[in-house]
Amino acid sequence: MELCTMSCSSSTPLNFNSPDRVKPPPPPLRRLRNSPSLAVAFKSRSLIPQIKLVSNARLPSRPSHRGRFQASASPSAVPVASSAKDRLPADIAVTEAPEPNSTIRLSVEVPPAVCEDCYGRVLKEFMKQAKIPGFRPGKEVPEGVLLSYVGKQIVQKATVESILKRTLPHAMSSVSGKALKDSVRIVTKFSEMEKDYLSSNSLRYDVLVDVAPEVKWIPEDGYRNLKIVVEVDSDIDPVKACQQELRRRHKSLGVLKIVTDRGLQIGDVVVLDISAVVADKDQSKAERIPSADTKGFQFDTEDGDKLIPGFLDSIIGIERGETKSFPLVFPDTWNQENLRGVRAQFTVECKELFFRDMPELNDSIADKLLPGCTCLKQVEDALLERCREVEQTAREQAADNAILDHLCKMVEVDIPQSIFEEQGRQLYGAQLLQMQANTKLDEQQLAALSSPKAVNQFLESNKDNIVHVIKQNLAVGDIFKREKLQVSTDEIVKEVENSIAEFKQHKQEYEEESVKDQVQEVLEGAKVLEWLRERAEIQYISK
CB environment 173-196: b (16+ within 10 A), e (fewer): eebeeebbbbbbbbebebeebbeb
- H/E stretch holding 370 reads none
If we measure between CA atoms, which residue out of 350, 370, 540, 429 comes closest to residue 49? 429
**Domain ranges, ordered by start, for the chain:** 19-50+213-250+373-543, 52-211, 255-357
Per residue in 417-453, pLDDT (tens digit) is 989 998 999 899 888 888 877 777 778 888 888 888 9
> What per-residue confidence (pLDDT) applies to 281?
58
If we measure between CA atoms, which residue out of 130, 112, 270 comes closest to residue 197? 112
> What per-residue confidence (pLDDT) applies to 22?
42
CA distance 39 to 127: 61
Tell me the β-bridge partners of 271.
298, 352
Per residue in 134-160, pLDDT (tens digit) is 676 666 778 877 787 888 899 999 999
- H/E stretch holding 532 reads helix 512-535
CA distance 100 to 102: 6
pTM for this entry = 0.63
CA distance 71 to 324: 77
Mean pLDDT of 182-189: 91
pLDDT surpasses 80 at 64: no
> What per-residue confidence (pLDDT) applies to 282?
60
Give the number of other Cβ atoms within 10 Å of residue 530's Cβ: 17
Pick the CATH number of 255-357 from 3.20.170.30, 3.40.50.10420, 3.20.20.80, 3.10.50.40: 3.10.50.40
Return the minimum-mean-pLDDT range out of 92-96, 171-175, 249-253, 369-373.
171-175
- Write the burial class of residue 442 (CB in 10 Å: 0-12 exposed, 13-18 middle, 19+ buried): exposed
CB environment 266-279: b (16+ within 10 A), e (fewer): eebbbbbebbbbeb
- H/E stretch holding 212 reads none
> What per-residue confidence (pLDDT) applies to 147?
82
> What per-residue confidence (pLDDT) applies to 304?
73
> What per-residue confidence (pLDDT) applies to 1?
29
pLDDT surpasses 80 at 235: no
CA distance 267 to 510: 50
Per residue in 508-533, pLDDT (tens digit) is 788 888 889 889 989 999 999 999 99
> What per-residue confidence (pLDDT) applies to 283?
59
Mean pLDDT of 473-497: 93
pLDDT surpasses 50 at 42: no
pLDDT surpasses 80 at 30: no
CA distance 334 to 323: 25
Rg of the chain, C-alpha, whole Å: 33
* Contact status, residue 234 vs residue 242, Cβ threshold 8 Å: no
CATH architecture, domain defined by 52-211: 2-Layer Sandwich (3.30)
The one-character DSSP state at 235 is G
CA distance 537 to 492: 30
* Contact status, residue 536 vs residue 48, Cβ threshold 8 Å: no
> What per-residue confidence (pLDDT) applies to 284?
61
Average pLDDT, the chain: 81
- Residues listed for the chain: 543
The 103-110 sheet, strands edge to edge: 93-99, 103-110, 203-210, 185-186
Give the strand pairing for 215-217 and 411-413: antiparallel
Please tell me whether the peptide bond between 24 and the residue prior to it is cis, using omega within 30 degrees of 0: no
> What per-residue confidence (pLDDT) applies to 60?
30
- At 385, the pLDDT band (50, 70, 90 cuts) reads very high
CA distance 521 to 478: 12
pLDDT surpasses 90 at 186: yes
> What per-residue confidence (pLDDT) applies to 174?
84
Which residues, in sequence order, are CB contacts of 365 under 8 Å at separation 6+? 250, 253, 359
3-state class (DSSP) for residue 181 = coil
* Contact status, residue 150 vs residue 75, Cβ threshold 8 Å: yes
